[in-house]
Structure 1
Amino acid sequence: MEVKKDILWRVYLCFIGMVLFGVVILARVFILQNVEGGYWRGMADSLHTSYVSLAAERGTIYSEEGRMLSTSIPYFDIRVDFAADGLREHDGRIFKENVDSLAYYLSQLFGDRSKREYKQLLREGYKSKDRYYLLKRDVPFSQFRELRGFPMFRLGPNKGGMIAETKNKRINPFKLLANRTIGLARKNAQNVGLERTYNDYLKGVTGKRLMRRIAGGTYVPVEGYDIEPENGRDIITTLDVNMQDIVETALMNMMVQNEAEHGTCILMEVKTGKIKAIANLGRQKDGSYWEDMNYALQVGEPGSTFKLATMIAVLEDRYTTINGTVDLNYGRWQVGRRTVYDSEPHHRTNVTVKQAFELSSNVGMAKLAYQYYYKRPNDFVAHLKKLGLHHPTGIDLVGEGRPIIKNTASRTWSATTLPWMAFGYEVLISPLQTCMLYNAVANNGKMMKPYLVNTIQEYGQVVKAFEPTVLMDSICSQSTLKQVKKMLEGVVLEGTAKKLWTPYYPFAAKTGTALVANGKRGYADKIYQSSFAGYFPANDPQYTCVVVIKNKPHAARFYGASVAGPVFREVADKLYAIAVEKQKPLQTTVRIDSALALKAGKGSEWQEILTTLHLPWQGKVSSTNWVSAEVNDRQQVALQPVKQTKGAVPDVTGMGLKDALYLLENAGLRVEIRGAGKVSTQSIPGGTKIGKDQKIIIELS
């Protein structure tokens, strides 16, 4: 019995001990969860760290004269930390005192919700204690600047709770101008244009920041563990905004007039190969036009502008000269089962080779090629390849089409391929290749590689420069070159482009009119491609210009001289006036206009300006005195000291606003400003003794 009691006593003792131990565990769990829970959760969160990316600022693309063509501007996502310590202390006093006025200002700024709706929105966020509440997306900098001064937000992130997330958006300030060539920097799609070609330079290097998670799921940066991003480099292009505007406007006018499907206009600097302007317009579904594709790089049958290459081949092999003869057969010639037609009707038979070219005779070119190369067609092809027409130009743009120059081994070669190639069919080249060929003729035979970027810069310092590249020292002999130049000039004087002739400057060019197939419908829709290629001025070539326009089906106007030609002429007229015509030499003696508007200002600043501009002047100046300025009888800028007495109102008549404010406010006056320009009158005359807290009104005109 004693043994049994002893065993039971021990069992009870163990049971009580286990119960007490369980109670202790439960008590400790309760304390950890409800008393010390916040502390331990914070400790656990602090052990969770991760790196976040810091985006680099993308480089800017500039025109040659320094205007921004593509740049990044900041936008902000505005969020609110409704659990911020300062916002919730004293039972949310700051929030309650500011919610009405904040809602009012938000409504006034954004205009998308009423004051009542914004107030309700803010109260819901506050009630939820959301630490990352999204208030507004894509806020521009101008609105963000106002937002920072709003009630509650101006107290800072700890008391006001505002969190601003910065992100950059890419914009093209000139919008349509060269839009496709400059390109687009897109997050979820392939970039195009220069933005794509030079992306590695523009994008910069992404940085990293170590972030630690704190209570509530919010991350804060860990100091000393940042890898700063490296901003992208800037691109200085060869494009000229004024020239681009001229080219784009001229092309747009014709596209709208003729309701054309799409078109391109390229302007190249003869001596260097720089692309100064390139316009690409496509008709949209609503009838408007936009830079939707880079048509300058797309290959197609060039039509009659290709006849230049044919003539270079024939003349270079010395089969004939421009004074040789060819029978045009009234503009119709049958080759096998196919017939060659001249696009513009005429009643000519025996003419000179020069006249056949000037008339843009398909028959004439086909007969010349067939007569001299039908036994050795690959000799003709070899000339085309020597001109580089079988390779892309290599311009610094991704997506250039690959040209096709057939030879006898080609699967589609036939008995009629050679004569049709002679006038620009059964070959595929881009408008840019046509431009490069004509530019070589203008450049005395030297073929230049077209390019779009001058330099790559970092903080204004050149890190990479691109120089003009010579692809070929001479595309043909000087004898051939001299003859083709005469033919190109003859097209304007006597040929298909004579209606475009101008007495003010000479230019050389070739028209083109090609019938274009429309898919399975073939040539039934009578869709014509109008083209015009040339250079100006002919006696001293500065620019080469190529225009290619694809017209709508059954267009009333479709000849190259009447559709593409006027675009060329408009571009040439304006550029000749502003960029080509030599300016008259300046007079050796500088004369200053006596009616020039001059402002009074600081003497030392006036001295620096006049010395820098090498203008004659007289007067006594110092680093402290102020002077008035006027042009005297001897054509000098006369500087007269303006008397300024200490304790008296300064005489600021004739000064600019900056100088006037500087003097008046330093003298202790409160200034009210009216108007714009320079100071014409002041309410208190100069020299008057200044009173305490005195106000002065200055009127500007």
Structure 2
Amino acid sequence: MSKFDNKKIMPRYFAIAVVLTLTGIAILCKAAYIMSAKKEYWTEVAARLKSDSLSVKPTRGNILSCDGRLMASSIPEYRIFMDFKAGGEKKDSVWRDSIDVICEGLHRIFPSKTAKEFKQHLEKGHAKMSRNWPIWKKRIDYNTFTEVKKLPVFNMSKYKGGFHWEEFNSRRRPFGSLAQRTVGDMFGAKDTARFGLELSYDSILRGKNGLIHRRKILNKFMSIPIMPPDDGADIVTTIDVGMQDLAERALVEELKEINGNVGVVILMEVETGDIKAIVNMVKCADGGYRETVNKAISHRCEPGSVFKVASFLVALDDGVVDTSFVIHTGSGVMPMHGRDMKDHNWRRGGYQDINVARTLEVSSNIGVSHVIDKFYFNNPEKYVDGLHRVGIAEDLQLPLVGYTPPIIRRPHKNSRGQYDNWSKTALAWMSIGYETQVAPINTVTFYNAIANNGRMMRPRFVKKVIKNGETLKEYPPEVIKEQIAKPQTIKTMQTILEHVVSQGLGKKAGSPMFKVAGKTGTAQVSKGKAGYKSGTVDYWLSFAGFFPADKPRYSCIVCIEKSGLPASGGGMSGVVFHHIAEGVMAKHLKMSVDDARDTSSVMIPDVKNGNIMAADYVLGRLDIKTDTQWEGSYAYGNPIWGKAARHAGEVTLTKTKTPRNIVPDVKGMGARDAVYMLESRGLTVKVQGRGKVKSQSYAPGRTAISGAECVLVME
């Protein structure tokens, strides 16, 4: 008979199981209570614990422009706290006596919060006897930090007063948003790079953490350095601040004028491939334009007519045509394997018979697609191989995160010898910039190679890495392809591109001061499954080229996306190109007056209206005779404003005296003088364009009303 008594044993097991279950539930409840109700207390306890060894963050390296100016630098920022248990009763009495003065001081430093609100906030922390109570919710800069430290109690030592802080390395860009997407940014709270050069060169800029040993001696912790932090190195970029600012202003001005959605500019040095300026503007919800995405390197799109240059470069290099080859474009409409190919002027009768050179000058779709379809239809692989040969499909392998290489599909035959990814119309439309995906950086690199006599350079963003004045690493210019086409083919294309600007559709990109070469592009933007003409049609407008055409120094691409008509690559993107080219070339003009003067004639310069005293001084230094006249009946103070007129052998300076309450005539003045004159009378001035004042919206001679707006149109 078994000795196991089920009636006695099972209740005992059950009682034990119930006790253990209740104990487990109690433990879980206690844990939940600690994690919620007691969270703040234990967080403060954890904050007071000091490990034996602590890491020390290094100072992040700087990002410099090509001429050594700071584009991104690290500066200290602070979060400030109060330990209400420090200092004991003696500190508490001082705190009670000083609380009102402290709160008034904090309100003066942080005006967005009243002294009463500060007092309520600090008294709440004092009631909890918190050891880590935040005084201000955000980080503050060093100057603000020093102001806070001057306040009563806060100026005492950490252990007596309780005021303490956390220090962070904050990233600042002295030039604000200039080249923001390329330079990059940081996650402030995590001190980690987000994008741009900050992210691509993070391992160089970041440096290495140091190590200190903390030892408690006489109830105080001492920090004993074990390994000092290795500060990050600086990187010198190829960006030119002046050119970047010029490109941004020219692009944004045009975007506002035409209500564009997106704008991209890339300015590249021909010989080295250095990126001197790169702009990415997107229209935001508030109507302003900001850099939110680096579309210059990441936005693969159908490039449109700027791609025609690559198509004809392949055809010319293969020798299937030359510049004299005549194409019959008819009335501007030509059937292509069941679809109609149209020129932009098909409603006006088309271009009839034109040669290859003229085809690019007027950007004839029919002309380009007819040539490529005629000579490569039976062998499309040869055409696509040619595109890869001339470099338009090259993977540039850029150091910037987000770069996307081009997508130009290759024909593929199945086992039956039939193309399974190719249609009869593929060549015709690919040749004019559709059915391909190319980012602006690839297009400008291709045009840069044409300007560089066939040598393709890899776009360079960083020149070298320096630290403490020493160069640690250099990134020399890198050649991708020594020759993208035969030298004679390149020369021919250079001439054609110059004619596109001088006598074709790219005239607005040109300059009377120097020769410009390039190609316009206007493409409809595909909306995926909705196609090209769903709702309002979006257009991708571009102009790619180089200048000066006879001795190229810079290549540039300008791309604009806008909705609806009018839309013109030459008339919109070309205008931006024109402003950039003239601005860049003006920057490099270094002429001596003596060298420029013709000794057989008298040089009479064009003098702007404005500060006559300044004009008189300059003309005097140039040994040019001046005749001064007065106009008006009211005189007041210096400087004296007026207008200038050129005559044979001398300049007449007419000094005008306009009363303070009357709007002066500022036509012919520069922006600085005109704005000064109008704002001194209380007007709000807006400037449109560059050069001299062409017109003013607030008519001269009227009584000036303070706050009234006056728009100045410059040319």
**TM-score of Structure 1 vs Structure 2, range by shorter chain:** 0.7 to 0.9
Which residue pairs with 1:313 in the alignment? Answer: 314
**Cα shift at 1:289:** 1.4
1:583 aligns with 2:586: no
* In structure 1, distance between residues paired with 2:338 and 2:528: 23
| CA gap 1:145/1:63 in 2 versus in 1, 3 angstroms | same
**Cα shift at 1:296:** 1.0
**Cα shift at 1:163:** 0.6
SS of structure 1 residue aligned to 2:421: coil
The within-5 A match list for 1:210-229 is 210-211=213-214, 221-224=221-224, 226-229=226-229
Q: Contact 1:235 / 1:456 at 8 angstroms: preserved in 2?
A: yes
Aligned letter for 2:60?
R
**Cα shift at 1:91:** 7.4
Which residue pairs with 1:60 in the alignment? Answer: 62
* In structure 2, distance between residues paired with 1:388 and 1:235: 29
**Cα shift at 1:169:** 2.2
**Cα shift at 1:522:** 0.9
Note the residue ranges of structure 1 that are not aligned, 5 or more in a row: 1-44, 588-594, 596-701
**Cα shift at 1:99:** 3.2
**Cα shift at 1:102:** 2.3
Q: Contact 2:91 / 2:161 at 8 angstroms: preserved in 1?
A: no
Which residue pairs with 1:322 in the alignment? Answer: 323
Which residue pairs with 1:449 in the alignment? Answer: 458
Aligned letter for 1:340?
M
Which residue pairs with 2:94 in the alignment? Answer: 94
Asked which structure has the greater CA Rg, the reply is: 1
* In structure 2, distance between residues paired with 1:82 and 1:517: 63
Which residue pairs with 1:495 in the alignment? Answer: 504
Q: Percent of counterpart pairs with the same letter?
A: 34
| CA gap 1:572/1:46 in 2 versus in 1, 3 angstroms | closer
Which residue pairs with 2:548 in the alignment? Answer: 537
The within-5 A match list for 1:583-662 is 583-584=591-592
SS of structure 2 residue aligned to 1:155: coil
Find 2:523's aligned residue among 514, 517, 532. 514
| CA gap 1:521/1:47 in 2 versus in 1, 3 angstroms | closer
Deviations 1:202-226 (A, max 9, x none): 11112344457999xxx97453254
1:369 aligns with 2:372: yes
Aligned letter for 2:378?
K
* In structure 2, distance between residues paired with 1:176 and 1:467: 28
Which residue pairs with 2:635 in the alignment? Answer: none
Which residue pairs with 2:256 in the alignment? Answer: 256
Which residue pairs with 2:111 in the alignment? Answer: 111
| CA gap 1:115/1:253 in 2 versus in 1, 3 angstroms | closer
| CA gap 1:451/1:132 in 2 versus in 1, 3 angstroms | same
**Cα shift at 1:46:** 11
The within-5 A match list for 1:338-487 is 338-345=339-346, 346-409=349-412, 411-487=420-496
Note the residue ranges of structure 2 that are not aligned, 5 or more in a row: 1-46, 413-418, 596-612, 614-715
**Cα shift at 1:161:** 2.2
Aligned letter for 2:272?
T
Deviations 1:321-362 (A, max 9, x none): 112211112221111121211124453221111111111011
Aligned letter for 2:460?
Y
Aligned letter for 2:537?
K
Q: Contact 2:314 / 2:390 at 8 angstroms: preserved in 1?
A: no
Aligned letter for 1:540?
K
Stretch deviating more after TM superposition (109-118 or 308-317): 109-118
Which residue pairs with 1:283 in the alignment? Answer: 283
* In structure 1, distance between residues paired with 2:101 and 2:508: 70
SS of structure 2 residue aligned to 1:264: strand
**Cα shift at 1:89:** 5.4
* In structure 1, distance between residues paired with 2:180 and 2:83: 41
Aligned letter for 2:77?
Y
Which residue pairs with 1:49 in the alignment? Answer: 51
SS of structure 1 residue aligned to 2:147: helix
Which residue pairs with 1:163 in the alignment? Answer: 164
Aligned letter for 1:527?
D
Aligned letter for 2:206?
K
Find 2:582's aligned residue among 566, 573, 581. 573
**Cα shift at 1:201:** 0.8
* In structure 1, distance between residues paired with 2:160 and 2:467: 40
* In structure 2, distance between residues paired with 1:221 and 1:159: 15
* In structure 2, distance between residues paired with 1:361 and 1:568: 22
Q: TM-score, normalised by structure 2?
A: 0.71
Deviations 1:62-85 (A, max 9, x none): 11122221222222111122233x
Q: Contact 2:546 / 2:553 at 8 angstroms: preserved in 1?
A: yes
Which residue pairs with 1:79 in the alignment? Answer: 81
SS of structure 2 residue aligned to 1:244: helix
Name the count of aligned residue pairs. Answer: 537
Which residue pairs with 1:150 in the alignment? Answer: 151
**Cα shift at 1:430:** 1.1
* In structure 2, distance between residues paired with 1:495 and 1:123: 76
SS of structure 1 residue aligned to 2:68: coil
SS of structure 2 residue aligned to 1:404: coil
Which consecutive aligned stretches of 4+ in structure 1 deviate over 6 angstroms post-superposition? 45-48, 212-215
Stretch deviating more after TM superposition (404-413 or 122-131): 122-131
Deviations 1:413-463 (A, max 9, x none): 111111212111111111111101111111111111101001111222211
Which residue pairs with 1:181 in the alignment? Answer: 182
Which residue pairs with 2:538 in the alignment? Answer: 527
Which residue pairs with 2:301 in the alignment? Answer: 300
* In structure 2, distance between residues paired with 1:220 and 1:544: 64
